[in-house]
């Protein structure tokens, strides 16, 4: 019996001048690590990008919606299944359904006054209960407790008004940080007024935009055993899809300004049966750029740290897969599609042996 099963993914990715994730002042986010300022992209920003990528690889009915407009979603389901109802009547029924489930609804527009994660199956279950005239409040609560969407199972749900509706996340995503010291810069720009008068040669608008560039270390981990409680026989494919989304996604902040979308330089995926291990310690001492830039120095720091850690703790992963020159000393590398295929097949075999 497998007690623990985790899949860790480590990525080194170079991003050109960009502002993919801003703070409240419009500046690229940063963090101090190892005593130096690093470029940072928050886990929330990248998880949103991953969920957007999910829309291209998962069927729509397997994905949830995080929204304040939960009443509207259930109202639409009620009207679709019972078209003779008026919109006003369906809205009242939807509000009552959520109240029966234990949620406090402010109004039809604000919902619970906070974003609420709900799956398509839960929407349909609540709609059917209220159409059937069900009065047992336990069944309404059960409708919101069962059948989470795959993204809800991965990223979790918090319902402040009723913790019994919470889901613990089976996926953790770290804040991405640069492997080196990073400094924000300013771009001074002008915009030309195409219809300005001949006697006005000045710009129509002046401004500045802040940006930085970095080689990022990115990390995420999947608790496969916990995910399997929700995904069942589709667990291996779900893990593969998450890994694909993590590799190919990119937060969209200021991307029209900087056209900064890149792909990872190196990918290292480790299957572990002890615990997830974030290998950011490789960059606690910021790497220095040589004539070949930051990526080569970052690859060496990652390999050296990882090899030493495995030697010291005797905790090398039970299986690993990789892409990129920087991982060649740790694992046999191959193209990303082959990496994902191998990971899925390996997990499928392990999970089938559990039956």
Q: In the predicted model, is pLDDT for residue 205 greater than 90?
A: no
Q: In the chain, how many domains are there?
A: 2
235-271: pLDDT as tens digits: 999 999 999 999 999 999 999 999 999 999 999 999 9
Q: Residue 355: pLDDT above 70?
A: no
| Angstrom distance (rounded) from CA 138 to CA 86 | 27
- Answer yes or no: do 282 and 181 share one domain: yes
For residues 221 and 321, membership in a common domain is answered with yes
105 pLDDT band, cuts 50/70/90, is confident
Q: Is the pLDDT of residue 76 over 80?
A: yes
Mean pLDDT along residues 190-212: 78
Domain shared by 192 and 310, yes or no: yes
When the pLDDT of each residue in the chain is averaged and rounded to a whole number, the result is 93
pLDDT at 120: 95
202 has a pLDDT exceeding 70 = no
Residue 155 placed within a domain? no
| Least confidently predicted of 51-60, 100-109, 289-298 | 100-109
CA atoms of 255 and 259, how far apart (whole Å): 5
104 with 187, same domain: the answer is no
pLDDT at 2: 73
Query: What average pLDDT does the segment 318-344 reach?
Result: 96
Question: Does 33 reside within a domain?
Answer: yes
Residue ending a domain, among 148, 163, 185, is 148
328 and 237 both lie in a single domain: yes
Q: Report if residue 334 sits inside a domain.
A: yes
CB atoms within 10 A of CB 66: 15
Residues 316, 195 within the same domain: yes
Mean pLDDT along residues 58-74: 94
Q: Residue 157 has what pLDDT? A: 93
* 109-145 pLDDT per residue, tens: 877 778 999 999 999 999 999 999 999 999 999 999 9
Please report the pLDDT score of residue 324 as a whole number.
Answer: 96
| 208 to 26, 32, 182, 190, 200: CA distances (angstroms) | 10, 24, 19, 9, 22
In a domain, 184, yes or no: yes
Same structural domain, 202 and 318 = yes
Q: What is the pLDDT, as a whole number, of residue 160?
A: 78
Helix H or strand E segment including 211: strand 205-223
In terms of domains, do 179 and 328 share one?
yes
Q: At what angle do helices 137-145 and 87-100 cross, to 10 degrees?
A: 80
Label the pairing between strands 185-191 and 176-178: unpaired
Give the ranges where 249-318 is alpha helix by DSSP (H).
Answer: 255-258, 293-313
> Does 279 lie in the same domain as 239?
yes
50 with 117, same domain: the answer is no
pLDDT more than 90, % of the chain = 81
Give mean pLDDT, residues 50-54.
Answer: 97
In terms of domains, do 140 and 260 share one?
Answer: no
* Least confident segment among 52-61, 164-173, 183-192: 183-192
96 within some domain: yes
The answer to whether residue 196 scores a pLDDT higher than 90 is no
Same domain, 313 and 333: yes
In whole angstroms, give the CA distance from residue 94 to residue 78.
8
Is the pLDDT reported for residue 65 higher than 80? yes
> Does 165 reside within a domain?
no
**CA 1 vs CA 5, 31, 314, 352: distances in Å:** 11, 41, 22, 11
Say if residue 190's pLDDT is above 80.
no
Out of 6-20, 72-86, 337-351, least confident range: 72-86
Range with the lowest mean pLDDT among 29-43, 128-142, 164-178, 193-207? 193-207
DSSP 8-state symbol, 210: E
Question: Residue 177: in which H helix or E strand, if any?
Answer: strand 176-178
Residue 19 domain boundaries: 6-57+171-353
Q: Is residue 158 part of a domain?
A: no
Handedness of CA 347, 350, 353, 355 (dihedral sign): negative
Q: Answer whether residue 164 is part of any domain.
A: no
Q: Residue 1 — very low, low, confident or very high, per pLDDT cuts 50/70/90?
A: low
């Amino acid at each position: 019996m497998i007690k623990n099963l985790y899949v860790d993914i480590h990525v080194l990715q170079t991003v050109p001048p960009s502002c993919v994730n801003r703070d409240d002042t419009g500046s690229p986010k940063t963090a101090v690590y190892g005593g130096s300022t690093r470029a940072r992209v928050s886990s929330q920003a990248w998880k949103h990008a991953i969920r957007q990528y999910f829309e291209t690889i998962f069927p729509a009915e397997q994905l949830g919606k995080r929204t304040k407009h939960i009443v509207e979603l259930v109202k639409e389901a009620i009207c679709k299944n019972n078209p003779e109802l008026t919109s006003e009547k369906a809205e009242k029924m939807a509000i009552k359904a959520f109240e029966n489930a234990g949620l406090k609804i402010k109004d039809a527009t604000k919902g619970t006054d906070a974003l609420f994660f709900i799956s398509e199956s839960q929407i349909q279950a609540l709609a059917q209960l209220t159409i059937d005239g069900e009065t047992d409040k336990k069944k309404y609560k059960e409708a919101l407790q069962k059948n989470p969407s795959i993204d809800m199972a991965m990223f979790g749900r918090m319902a402040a008004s009723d913790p019994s509706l919470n889901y613990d996340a089976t996926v953790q995503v770290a804040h991405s940080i640069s492997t080196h010291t990073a400094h924000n810069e300013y771009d001074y720009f002008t915009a030309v007024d195409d219809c300005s008068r001949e006697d006005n040669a000045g710009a129509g608008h002046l401004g500045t935009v802040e940006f930085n560039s970095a080689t990022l270390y990115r990390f995420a981990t999947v608790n496969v055993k916990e995910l399997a409680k929700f995904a069942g026989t589709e667990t291996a494919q779900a893990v593969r899809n998450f890994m694909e989304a993590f590799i190919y996604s990119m937060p969209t902040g200021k991307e029209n300004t900087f056209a900064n979308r890149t792909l990872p330089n190196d990918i290292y995926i480790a299957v572990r049966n002890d615990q997830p291990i974030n290998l950011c310690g490789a960059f606690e001492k910021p790497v220095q750029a040589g004539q070949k830039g930051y990526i080569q120095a970052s690859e060496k720091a990652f390999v050296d740290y990882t090899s030493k850690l495995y030697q010291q703790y005797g905790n090398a992963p039970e299986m690993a897969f990789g892409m990129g020159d920087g991982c060649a000393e740790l694992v046999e590398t191959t193209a990303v599609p082959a990496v994902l295929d191998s990971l899925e097949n390996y997990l499928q075999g392990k999970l089938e042996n559990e039956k």
